[in-house]
């Protein structure tokens, strides 16, 4: 009899997300297929602003099953995508909200590249100086600076209230969430939130700061969140209704 050593089975590693494109409702959208070991069924999600699709699958699901799943939900996708706002490109003549107030974008090429807030013909405006090609990026950079100033001050206010400290505050251009809080106290926010009204910005910061004390969405968390931002429910509803439009604005 020959004895051999049995090789210990290694735990199955999650597959690298598969990315391809999918045609629906006259659009060609990026499609991300993600395997999740805890998933019991296939789930479909539209990214904010209709910028892409994500299918989460249990381990071992064949590509043809994903295709059939998408085909079954074609009608649902078409209905939902029809409600997604267009993706306007930032350019002179359109209005970009700053803290919820629409600002007319005005280009002035005669000065060095910068962005300033002004009043033009009686309405708020963003004067963008420098070459036209850099205008979208300059406005994005302006919103990032405003976000850093306002949000860091709000983080300090709310962390002082609850007696906790944030390890760091970072800013990103995320499409899946407006903010996050890690277990070790790192906060992150989408700088696009600076286009929302002030109470919504305050609510978002209060939401993430509350996670420093309650790392969940249970009753204690929401009680704390409402103590920090009493208008929580209205702000949540506003972000759910209008957040997609803010995510859809193109700053490329």
Tens digit of pLDDT for each residue in 83-99?
776 677 899 999 999 99
CB 68 within 8 A of CB 88: no
Q: pLDDT by residue (tens digit) across 169-189? A: 999 998 778 999 999 999 999
Section 66-73 average pLDDT: 93
Instruction: Give kind and range of the element (H or E) at residue 141.
Output: helix 135-162
What is the set of domains in the chain, with CATH numbers? 18-82 (no CATH), 95-248 (3.30.2010.10)
Q: Are strands 27-35 and 53-57 parallel, antiparallel or unpaired?
A: parallel
Kindly report, residue by residue over 115-152, the tens digit of the pLDDT: 999 999 999 999 999 999 999 999 999 999 999 999 99
Q: 21: which residues sit within 8 A by CB, 6+ positions away?
A: 28, 29, 30, 31
Residue-wise pLDDT for 8-49, tens only, equals 444 444 455 688 888 887 778 889 999 999 999 999 998 866
What pLDDT score was predicted for residue 49?
67
Termini Cα distance of the chain: 69
Above 50 in pLDDT, residue 54? yes
Encode burial over 203-228: b for 16+ CB neighbours within 10 A, e otherwise: bbbbbbbbbbebeeeeeebbebbeeb
Q: How many CB atoms lie within 10 A of CB 29?
A: 18
């Amino acid at each position: 009899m020959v004895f051999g050593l049995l090789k210990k089975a290694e735990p199955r590693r999650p597959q690298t997300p598969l990315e391809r494109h999918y045609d629906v409702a006259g659009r060609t959208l990026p499609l991300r297929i993600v395997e999740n070991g805890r998933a019991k069924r296939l789930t479909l999600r539209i990214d904010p602003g209709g910028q892409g699709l994500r299918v989460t699958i249990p381990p071992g699901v064949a590509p043809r099953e994903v295709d059939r799943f998408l085909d079954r939900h074609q009608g649902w996708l078409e209905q939902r995508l029809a409600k997604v706002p267009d993706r306007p490109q930032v350019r002179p003549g359109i209005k970009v909200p700053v803290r919820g107030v629409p600002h007319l974008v005005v280009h002035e090429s005669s000065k060095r590249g910068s962005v300033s807030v002004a009043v033009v013909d009686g309405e708020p405006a963003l004067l963008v100086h420098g070459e036209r090609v850099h205008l979208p990026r300059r406005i994005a950079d302006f919103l990032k600076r405003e976000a850093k100033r306002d949000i860091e001050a709000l983080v300090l206010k709310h962390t002082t209230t609850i007696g906790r400290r944030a390890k760091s505050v970072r800013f990103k251009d995320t499409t899946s969430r407006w903010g996050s809080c890690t277990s070790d106290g790192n906060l992150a926010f989408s700088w696009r939130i600076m286009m929302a009204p002030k109470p919504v910005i305050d609510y978002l910061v209060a939401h993430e700061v509350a996670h420093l004390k309650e790392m969940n969405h249970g009753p204690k968390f929401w009680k704390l969140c409402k103590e920090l931002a009493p208008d929580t429910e209205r702000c949540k509803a506003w972000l759910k209704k209008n957040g997609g439009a803010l995510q859809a604005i193109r700053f490329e």
